[in-house]
Amino acid sequence: MTKLRQTPSQTVGPYFAYGLSPEQYGYQRNLSSIAGGQMAEGDVEGERIRVEGRVFDGNGAPISDALIEIWQADSLGRYAHPADPRGSNNTFKGFGRCGTGTDPQHRFWFDTIRPGKVSDDQAPHLNVIVTMRGMLLHAFTRIYFSDEPANATDSVLLLVPAERRGTLIATRQSGNVYRFDIHMQGDRETVFFDA
């Protein structure tokens, strides 16, 4: 019997952002994306917020070809997934995708709702995946909110050394806008988690 070998890794090509978010990059004729940055449309319950930021390399330069995906619970802490025992929220899918290549300042943004607590030991948060050219694997992180009291008892956040927790916290700007920058390397490197 032939022993199967693992498929070799290769970097994500420069094509992935346009392929996964074609409307954002102007490929609307025959292609459509399953998700974009506009997540809170229609009669979705909850506080409307915007999360925006940029992705920086180790030298502090904005990355122009990053793709950010988020998955989050609704305002009641329920995921739009059949495995969530509390029942799916059919009006809010909780998934968004945004590339940094079409904004002149290389920003990403998500217009969404503020998530609820998924469980008693987890503060409201967004699950984040970062991909870009040159990476062999996705990077996983979370976004917490600066004005959330439950951060003090979040079981995942408490595993992060106190001096690094700030890299996971979005700061409230004016109105309902939260700022969250992702630093891939360097002194301010965002905390990333194993999948």
134-168: per-residue pLDDT in tens? 777 889 999 999 999 999 999 999 999 999 999 99
Cα dihedral 105/40/48/42 (nearest 10): 140
171 pLDDT more than 90: yes
Q: Show Cβ contacts of residue 81 under 8 Å, excluding neighbours closer than 6 positions.
A: 88
The pLDDT, as a whole number, for residue 26 is 59
Cα dihedral across residues 14, 17, 22, 24: positive or negative: negative
15-42: per-residue pLDDT in tens? 555 555 555 555 666 655 556 677 777 7
62-113: per-residue pLDDT in tens? 998 888 999 999 998 888 776 776 766 667 888 998 888 888 899 999 999 9
Q: Which of 37-51, 87-101, 173-187 has the lowest mean pLDDT?
A: 87-101
What is the distance in angstroms between the CA of the first residue and the CA of the last residue of the chain?
Answer: 32
